[in-house]
A and B are shown apart, each in its own frame.
Chain A
Amino acid sequence: MSSVEIENVHKIFGTTHVIRDVSIDVPDGSFVVLVGPSGCGKSTLLRMIAGLEEISAGEIKIGARVINEVQPKHRNIAMVFQNYALYPHMTVAENMGFSLRLARHSKDEIATKVRDAAQILGLSNYLERFPRELSGGQRQRVAMGRAIVRDPEVFLFDEPLSNLDAKLRVQMRAELKEIHGRLKTTTIYVTHDQIEAMTMADKIVVMRDGVVEQLGDPLTLYDRPVNMFVAGFIGSPSINFVGGRIARTDGAAKFLSHSGVRWQVDPRVAEVAGGTPVTYGIRPEHFALATDGESGTLPAVVVTVEPTGAETHVVADIGEDRITAVLRERVSARPGEKIHLRPDPAQAHLFESESTLRIQPSGEAH
């Protein structure tokens, strides 16, 4: 087990600058998730750590060793690929023991390690089967088993669950997390699925266009996104954005949307925001259903209602802005009907419209 340090790393393919000055510190034994939309460079970064792509500039260290020029096989890492990349002509046991065989371990040792890994993954009964005879989830486990038997310093996962169906994905997510808890091997995990990132990570790295947008633990990212991109990327359904500006009336500062609706804001934020255009961001779950006339409520015209059982997703227009609200209550309103929603100003964020950066409330700790 080792820490991984990525220092000012760049990747340039021909004329395209895929990764720009990325620095990430992955502490020993932690579970770090790289997340971002496709094309953001997260997989490239992982492949650079694995040694499958060259590093154009900067340094990557595993433990104290700079591994820029080290061959993949000498990096002591194990990688799990999106499509499993099992060797189709080998049995499960041979697949899992392949790396040990290459490293010239004794047969008994290989058998023991493979059996132990199979035990952990629940593959003991499948060791003599070929990959084509396994289900998707089992193949995924074999791919993980192949990584586990090596007892590497670092696990690298490249979207390992994206080929599984939704139910299996949730199950494997939990299993992965549990295995990490048991083995405590430093893990770097790439996904485009923010739910995977939120549920599994000790630390999330949100990337866009080859740049790290924000790096932090899941709840920090959720509660205090640095900019509109991170705010929009983390959370499902995603956050609502309403364009407008801060207007002061009757001594109290309020957010005035372009369509003239006045939204309550946290005074500590309003204090900081100047007269520049700002964007009001509020997560769907921070709306509550209200009755007419209460202070701080906003009238909304229902567009669609999507009951999920536990909660109800309501898409509605407030002024001319379309928002999504996730409500605890069951809503019987039909499309076109008017309801009243109360946004929670304490949970809302304000972003500078131009720079998209979040306006930090006065007094908030970094």
Chain B
Amino acid sequence: MDNIAGSKSSLGWAVNITVLVIVVLWLIPTVGLFVSSFRDRDQISVSGWWQAPFAVDLTFRSRAASEPVQQDGLWIYEGNLFAEDAALAQTFGEGSGEITAFGNRGTQPAAYVAGEEVDLGDGETLLVNSDGTYRFTAAEEPRRPPTVYFEAETPPEFTLDNYRTVLTADNMDLAFINTLTVTIPATVIPILIAAFAAYSLAWMDFPGRGLLIAAVVGLLVVPLQLALVPMLRLHNAIGIGQSFLGIWLAHTAFGMPLAIYLLRNYMVGLPRDIIESAKVDGATDFQVFTKIILPLSFPALAAFAIFQFLWTWNDLLVAKVFLPSDDASKVMTVKIADDLLGSRGGDWGILATAAFVSIAVPLIVFFTMQRYLVRGLLAGSVK
């Protein structure tokens, strides 16, 4: 038996490494999103989040602010590019930037190496040193001050501005509240109903029970899109219309088959003797349910709660269909999709931040309840 024990221990580290790899792989997108959410939009578009701690080469534009000096028949502009522009001065500090290349056209901002004097034609020359000092000469008086493009190493920049923007964006706080308003009842209501249904389908004898169970299983495979139009029509017809009540009912209906199926399968695996014992002890069906079945089904209830919470939190489709489109009832997914993606499609920093804000709560829910999720599912399937 030595060889078995040996192979087991050698498998042990293999398993550990595999698990580690999976965990890291699984975490990478989240970490990337998290890092990106603190970065500047320009830095995001130039380098990946894993390069966030390093300086990046960004291109800038500066225009001479000083008056030209006439000397030897030449018009000369001199000064420091960093100092010429207030925004640049703030980004780089006083003369601390390092220019690697420069150019005089926006299409080729890094055409020439810093420190080299370039003949631009028409009697114009340009020299930009790496410390930012420049010298521009022209044979004739220029109509306007020259524009200089340059590439400089920018120190890594982390900022909370994205969070400030997202969290204080128009009605983002309201969208967060709206999401909770949708999610919490849409998680609790199906559990309440499904737990009762699951108990009766598992442990109460009545005619047609098998057919009902088959119907529930059948409904599991029906795509919810099929029900969008008829349900909305129904809601309109009975006066609920597009409202929070409507979306609660919709989420309840869509979550019910899985809820009943999961809970029933778990409950049916509870030992029959315990339930019979409770009945002999004098419990009614309701007491059996509340005092025995519910406490013992906690893992399955938690598992389903997590599922339903995550799915309703992330849902966009049902929210789009069943909630009014006015700004006051937008949930976060809709807000991100419509307002942030629609109006600031290129603003990666804002997008990353909004995405991270919206997954923060599910992450907390998942990490606090994941042990129930895992145990609940195993307990339901193995027993």
Contacts and interface: CB of A to CB of B under 8 A. Distances in A.
Contacts of A84: 273
Nearest to A50: B280
A83 B273 contact: yes
A52 interface: yes
A87 interface: yes
B274 interface: yes
Interface string B287-306: 10001100110000000000
A73 B281 contact: yes
B282 A73 contact: yes
A118 to B, nearest CB: 17
Interface in A88-112: 88-89, 98-99, 102-103
A146 interface: yes
Interface string A67-82: 0000011000111011
Contacts of A86: 274
A87 B271 contact: no
B280 A87 contact: no
A52 B287 contact: no
Given A73-B280, A77-B280, A87 B273 contact: no
Which of B280, B287, B295 has the most chain A CB atoms closer than 10 A to its own CB? B280
A102 B295 contact: no
Contacts, number: 58
A255 B97 CA distance: 121
A225 interface: no
B279 interface: yes
B274 A72 contact: no
Contacts of B274: 85-88
A51 interface: yes
A50 to B, nearest CB: 6
B271 A85 contact: yes
A102 B288 CA distance: 10
Which of B274, B278, B281, B283 has the most chain A CB atoms closer than 10 A to its own CB? B281
B277 A81 contact: yes
B279 A52 contact: yes
A99 B282 contact: yes
A102 B276 contact: no
B91 interface: no
B284 interface: yes
Contacts of A89: 295-296
Contacts of B296: 88-89
A13 to B, nearest CB: 13
B324 to A, nearest CB: 44
A85 B284 contact: no
Given A87-B292, A89-B296, A99 B273 contact: no
A96 B15 CA distance: 45
B276 A81 contact: yes
Nearest to B295: A89
Interface of A: 47, 50-52, 72-73, 77-79, 81-89, 98-99, 102-103, 146, 150
Given A72-B280, A83-B271, A102-B287, 12 more contacts: A52-B276, A72-B276, A72-B282, A79-B280, A85-B274, A87-B277, A87-B278, A88-B274, A89-B295, A98-B278, A98-B291, A102-B283
Interface of B: 271, 273-274, 276-284, 287, 291-292, 295-296
21 contacts: A50-B280, A52-B276, A52-B279, A72-B279, A72-B282, A73-B280, A73-B283, A79-B276, A82-B273, A83-B271, A83-B273, A85-B276, A87-B277, A87-B278, A87-B292, A88-B274, A98-B281, A99-B282, A102-B283, A102-B287, A146-B281
List 4 A-B pairs, minimum CB-CB distance, nearest first. A85-B273, A99-B281, A73-B282, A85-B277
